[in-house]
Amino acid sequence: MNRKTEGVTDMEKLLRFRVLEGQSLLGKHLDESSLFSSPRWLKVMNGRIEGKNFMFLLEKASCPVMMVHGSILDSPTSYNAYNPYDLMLAEEPVFPINEKIAARRSVLRQVTRREDWFPCLILMWPGYECTMAGQEYSNVQMMRILIREIASWAQSKGLKLIGYLYVPEDKNDFTNVLAEQGYQKFPLTYKSELRLLGNSFDDYINGLKKKQRSGIKREIQFLYEAGVKTEVCPLNESGEDLLRLRIKLVRKYGNYSSLDEEYRRLERLKDAFSSEDLLVARAMADGDLIGFTLFLQHKDFLYAFWTGTDYEHPKSSFVHFDTAFYSVIPKAYRLGIIKIGYGIGHWQGKKRRGCDVTAVDGWLLGIHSFVQMTLKQLKEEY
């Protein structure tokens, strides 16, 4: 490590802490075991998180062995889903909270300026997940070293806060180390994943509870009687027909994106992933595209990347779940997929269709004394 050797462990002497600016600087050294830390994913998602993006890593014999992605947010108005102030204190909660927490937030907003939280450092991979990557990703001793070095780096930059966002609750070693080093846990939301057991769609259905099976069968029958037909195939065409529905979805949830911006993202996607790794489920009715879900395949993992439904169409009921679940699951079995990822939020409907839901939390450390005080008072309600 680049510091005085007094008190430094033998392991630390073998390691070098580095900070690289930009998402693609590691090239082939990036961790291919996970979609979110793979070079092609980072290429597609370049610029998705505002501010300056960094890769924090430990090297051993000049080879990266552990790494995590981070960003410095300078703007207090950064996007709310990764803005620590909004996640903790926004008047309109990013994710549902109870009345007690809402009341405490209201009080703290009166004495806390948004600007006091910035600039700050957030640690997460584009895709709303924070885990360690690299061949030594589970090495607890290295984890302690990397997390400590990141904190020292952030303090040297005059940052107000460090936030590890969307840390899965089941990453016990990771969360234990964060707790050891003074980070406070704040629940955020849940991520959903569907594990495909057995060998067929029937195995998927039979693995659900009776009430779940009955509901899904009714929805599939409704779609059949409505004449909705869904085809799952590689994205060989331009994909421009998907953008209209994509834009509708983005704006439905109060966000903004232009057709040009989404088109550029789609082109980056097609450039980074082969057509065989881009699967799209298109739902058609009366000659119209009324819904789609676009999946990325990474090894035996399938990830729902984009979705969209024309909810104004009279036959749109259950179309989203057809493109996201019912029509793609048989294809996933044939491809040897073990798990399908459905991201964060809206977890209740995903759970009803067989997904495992895992809590993802924010682990925050106030560097500025005022932020420390605010987090301490807020934590009392959790």
Give per-residue pLDDT as tens, 20-59: 987 555 555 666 788 999 989 998 988 889 999 999 999 9
**Lookup: tokens for 182:** 């003074």
Q: Are residues 40 and 187 in the same domain?
A: yes
Range in 8-17, 118-127, 267-276, 288-297 the model is least confident about:
8-17
pLDDT in tens, 119-176: 999 999 999 999 999 999 999 999 999 999 999 999 999 999 999 999 999 999 999 9
The residue type found at 268 is R
**Lookup: tokens for 224:** 């059949």
Q: Pairing relation of β-strands 52-60 and 63-73?
A: antiparallel
Q: Are residues 166 and 294 in the same domain?
A: no
Contact (Cβ atoms closer than 8 angstroms) between residue 268 and residue 227: no
Going by the DSSP 8-state scheme, the letter that residue 274 receives in this structure is -
Domain assignment of residue 292, yes or no: yes
Q: Which residue has the tokens 């993802």?
A: 360
**pLDDT band, very low/low/confident/very high, at 4 (cuts 50, 70, 90):** very low
Contact (Cβ atoms closer than 8 angstroms) between residue 247 and residue 299: no
Q: Are residues 147 and 215 in the same domain?
A: no
pLDDT at 255 over 70: no
Q: Are residues 241 and 107 in the same domain?
A: no
Range of the domain at 371: 10-192+360-379
Q: Are residues 136 and 228 in the same domain?
A: no
Q: Tell me the C-alpha distance between 160 and 183, whole Å.
A: 14
Q: Are residues 120 and 265 in the same domain?
A: no
Which residues sit opposite 301 in a β-bridge? 298, 339
Domain assignment of residue 48, yes or no: yes
Interval 260-271 mean pLDDT: 87
Q: Which residue has the tokens 């108005």?
A: 77
Interval 321-350 mean pLDDT: 97
Q: Are residues 112 and 40 in the same domain?
A: yes
Domain assignment of residue 345, yes or no: no
Mean pLDDT, all residues of the chain = 92
Q: Are residues 49 and 125 in the same domain?
A: yes
Domain assignment of residue 352, yes or no: no
Domain assignment of residue 349, yes or no: no
Q: Are residues 50 and 67 in the same domain?
A: yes
Could you give the percent of the chain with pLDDT greater than 90?
80
CA dihedral 95→98→103→106, nearest 10 degrees, is 0
Q: How far is CA 15 from CA 4, 11, 155, 330, in A?
A: 14, 7, 21, 46
Q: What is the pTM of this model?
A: 0.92
Q: Tell me the C-alpha distance between 74 and 120, whole Å.
A: 7
User: What total number of domains does the chain contain?
Assistant: 2
Domain assignment of residue 351, yes or no: no
Q: Are residues 144 and 211 in the same domain?
A: no
State the pLDDT at residue 27: 57
Q: Are residues 47 and 131 in the same domain?
A: yes
pLDDT in tens, 196-248: 999 999 999 999 999 999 999 999 999 999 999 999 999 977 788 898 898 87
Residue 374, domain CATH: 3.40.630.30
**pLDDT band, very low/low/confident/very high, at 258 (cuts 50, 70, 90):** confident
Domain assignment of residue 342, yes or no: no
Q: Name the H helices within 135-207.
A: 140-156, 172-180, 201-206
Domain assignment of residue 158, yes or no: yes
Kindly give, in sequence order, each residue whose CB lies less than 8 Å from that of residue 356, ignoring residues fewer than 6 positions away.
192, 193, 194, 195
Q: Tell me the C-alpha distance between 189 and 358, whole Å.
A: 8
Cis peptide before 119 (omega within 30 of 0): yes
Q: Tell me the C-alpha distance between 75 and 314, whole Å.
A: 42
Q: Are residues 155 and 233 in the same domain?
A: no
Q: For residues 122-155, b (16+ Cβ closer than 10 Å) or e, as one string? A: bbbbbbbbbbbbbebbebeebbbbbbbbbbebbe
If 0-12 CB within 10 Å is exposed, 13-18 middle and 19+ buried, where does residue 312 land? exposed
Q: How far is CA 24 from CA 17, 74, 202, 317, in A?
A: 18, 21, 42, 41
